[in-house]
Amino acid sequence: MAKKITVKDLLANTHVNLVAGEEYLDREITTADISRPGLEMTGYFNYYAPERVQLMGITETSFAHRMNHDELLMVARKMMQPNTPAFVVSTGRQLPEEFMQAAIEAKIPVLATDLTSSRILSNMTYFLSGGLAERQSVHGVLVDIFGLGVLITGDSGVGKSETALELVQRGHRLIADDRVDVYAQDEERLVGEPPAILRNLMELRGVGIIDVMNLFGAGAVRSHATIAFNLHLAKWTDDQKVDRLGNGEENIRIQGVDLPRFVLPVQTGRNLAVLIETAAKNFRAKKMGFDATETFNDNLNRLIAENSEN
């Protein structure tokens, strides 16, 4: 499920300041879309979306100066609907007095910023898109390893939390343990974060629940991270098929986004933290164009060619 976002959250997380309506900041924002009410300023309301945050920049405020008092007040009152969350004025402009009057009447907060319309539009859209995105709960651990979000999954008791703890001791950062709330930032990126009740906490069998930030410092945790790949810990079996060359990458689909997935067999004596670190380094190297599997194949083909010539 998605979070509930209010105008107060928007005020706290974007570069806007409160102009009026402090007592109405609990108004809920239900969509990440932002409206630029240019046509509405002319009186055209056929496709007006009152549930959106309304952003007024230089174009809208300049046009308002050409309108008389009665026209402007009529348009302002039409824009101020019961489900309109807030009005935002960009580029250091001021909202016309008629709009301020209508906003006070409708109990709608007014916010302002010195940023340009395009900049504040981008900031608000980014914040609202993430905040309002549908969350999918995934059983696993999310750790930031060398700047890559690695989603560690596996059967219960396979050692996910213990491995994450060792990774934290090696200088990496915990995002979430046991349960990861995942949402799609866009069509290609997944972001993971902890549920509020589990933030900075980790459960270790035989030890109990520990506070990672309290024990290891603020640098040992993060609030969220873009997920680079999923590493699945699978208990070793004698008949298990194992990818020996590293070219058997598969994907899992979460929230409509394909996420690379690798399976790491778990066996007594294997140092999982070191293996996961290496997997993260190798994943980054491949993204930079350095693929050891391709190098091996090239070397093998070269050797075969040389032997066939002889």
> Is 159 a known ligand-binding residue?
yes
Q: Is 224 a catalytic residue?
A: no
Confidence of residue 248 (pLDDT cuts 50, 70, 90): low
Sign of the Cα torsion 29, 34, 38, 40 reads: negative
So what's the pLDDT on residue 247? 56
The answer to whether 89 touches 13, Cβ cutoff 8 Å, is no
Confidence of residue 205 (pLDDT cuts 50, 70, 90): confident
Per-residue pLDDT tens over the stretch 290-309: 766 677 666 767 777 777 76
Look at 291 and 131; give whichever has higher pLDDT. 131
So what's the pLDDT on residue 238? 58
> Is 154 a known ligand-binding residue?
yes
> Is 161 a known ligand-binding residue?
yes
So what's the pLDDT on residue 304? 75
Determine the average pLDDT of the residues in 130-156. 93
Look at 221 and 300; give whichever has higher pLDDT. 221
85 token code pair: 């969350």
Q: Is 172 a catalytic residue?
A: no
Confidence of residue 235 (pLDDT cuts 50, 70, 90): confident
> Is 203 a known ligand-binding residue?
yes
> Is 157 a known ligand-binding residue?
yes
* Domains present along the chain, CATH in parentheses: 5-132 (3.40.1390.20), 136-296 (3.40.50.300)
> Is 131 a known ligand-binding residue?
no
Closest among 3, 272, 12, 258 to 134, alpha carbons compared = 3
So what's the pLDDT on residue 242? 60
Percent of the chain at pLDDT above 90? 73
Indicate whether 237 pLDDT > 70.
Answer: no
Candidate list 27, 135, 160, 173, residue with the active-site label: 160
Candidate list 4, 139, 270, 287, residue with the active-site label: 139
Candidate list 65, 66, 241, 244, residue with the active-site label: 244
Indicate whether 155 pLDDT > 90.
Answer: no
199 burial level (CB within 10 Å; 0-12, 13-18, 19+): middle
Q: Which residues pair with 142 in a beta bridge?
A: 151, 176
So what's the pLDDT on residue 12? 95
Q: Is 178 a catalytic residue?
A: yes
Question: What is the rounded average pLDDT for all residues in the chain?
Answer: 90
Indicate whether 244 pLDDT > 60.
Answer: no
Confidence of residue 241 (pLDDT cuts 50, 70, 90): low
Per-residue pLDDT tens over the stretch 52-71: 999 999 999 999 989 999 99
The answer to whether 45 touches 54, Cβ cutoff 8 Å, is no
Determine the average pLDDT of the residues in 162-181. 95
Collect all residues with Cβ–Cβ distance below 8 Å to 292 and sequence separation of at least 6. Answer: 246, 282, 285
Candidate list 9, 144, 178, 181, residue with the active-site label: 178
Q: Is 33 a catalytic residue?
A: no
Q: Which residues pair with 260 in a beta bridge?
A: 251
Cα 240 from chain centre: 35
Helix (H) or strand (E) holding 33: none
So what's the pLDDT on residue 293? 66
Per-residue pLDDT tens over the stretch 8-30: 999 999 999 999 999 999 999 99
Confidence of residue 310 (pLDDT cuts 50, 70, 90): low
Determine the average pLDDT of the residues in 166-194. 94
